[in-house]
Amino acid sequence: MTALSNPPLALYVHFPWCVRKCPYCDFNSYSLHGELAEDRYVVALERDLESQAIEVRGREVSAIFLGGGTPSLFSPGAIARVLTTARRHLAVAVDAEVTMEANPGTLERGRFAEYRAAGLNRVSLGAQSFDARRLEKLGRIHSPEETRRAAEELHAAGLGNFNLDLMYALPEQDVAAAISDIEAALALDPAHVSHYQLTLEPGTVFAAEQPALPDDDIAAEMLTACRDRLTAAGFAQYEVSAYARPDRRCRHNLTYWTFGDYLGIGAGAHGKLSCARSGTITRTTQAREPRRYLAASPAVPARRRIAASELPFEFMLNALRLTDGFTVDLFERRTGLAWASVAARMQALARRGLVVLEPSAARPTELGLRFLNDALLAFLEETPKTTGAARLSTVL
Ligand X SMILES: C[S@@+](CC[C@H](N)C(=O)[O-])C[C@H]1O[C@@H](n2cnc3c(N)ncnc32)[C@H](O)[C@@H]1O
* Residue at shortest CB range from ligand X: 126
DSSP letters, 84-139, are HHHHHHSEEEEEEEEEEEE-GGG--TTHHHHHHHHT--EEEEEEE-S-HHHHHHTT
* Residue 21 binding result from ligand X, ligand SF4, none, given CB thresholds of 5 to 8 Å by partner type: ligand SF4
What residues form DSSP beta bridges with 194? 165, 242
Closer residue to ligand X (CB): 124 or 365: 124
How far apart are CB 124 and ligand SF4 at their closest, in Å? 10
By CB under 6 A, tell whether 365 contacts ligand SF4.
no
How far apart are CB 69 and ligand X at their closest, in Å? 6
What residues from 50 to 109 belong to the interface with ligand SF4 (CB under 6 A)? 68-70, 103
By CB under 6 A, tell whether 29 contacts ligand SF4.
yes
CB 93 within 8 A of CB 129: no
Q: Distance between CA atoms of 69 and 89, rounded to whole angstroms?
A: 24
By CB under 6 A, tell whether 135 contacts ligand SF4.
no
What is the sign, positive or negative, of the torsion defined by CA atoms of 303, 264, 296, 386? Answer: negative
Burial level of 232, CB count in 10 A (0-12/13-18/19+)?
exposed
How far apart are CB 67 and ligand SF4 at their closest, in Å? 8
DSSP letters, 292-348, are HHHHTSSPPPEEEEPPGGGHHHHHHHHHTTBTT-EEHHHHHHHH---THHHHHHHHH
CB-CB neighbours of 258 under 10 Å: 16
How far apart are CB 73 and ligand X at their closest, in Å? 10
* Residue 167 binding result from ligand SF4, ligand X, none, given CB thresholds of 5 to 8 Å by partner type: ligand X
SS3 assignment, position 191: coil
By CB under 6 A, tell whether 266 contacts ligand SF4.
no
Residue 248: phi and psi, rounded to 5, are: -115, 20
Could you say which of 27, 196, 339, 371 contacts ligand SF4 (CB under 6 A)?
A: 27
Q: Distance between CA atoms of 259 and 282, rounded to whole angstroms?
A: 12
Instruction: Specify the DSSP class assigned to residue 54.
Output: G
Closer residue to ligand X (CB): 16 or 325: 16
SS3 assignment, position 282: strand
Closer residue to ligand SF4 (CB): 144 or 260: 144
How far apart are CB 18 and ligand X at their closest, in Å? 6
What residues from 141 to 200 belong to the interface with ligand SF4 (CB under 6 A)? none
Q: Which residues bind ligand X (CB under 6 A)?
A: 18, 24-25, 27, 67-68, 70, 101, 103, 126, 128, 165, 167, 196, 198-199, 201
Question: Identity (one letter) of the amino acid at 310?
Answer: E
Closer residue to ligand X (CB): 295 or 396: 396
> Segment near ligand SF4 (CB under 6 A), from 14-22, 116-124, 180-188, 332-340?
14-22
Contacting positions for ligand SF4 (CB under 6 A): 18, 21-22, 25, 27, 29, 68-70, 103, 126
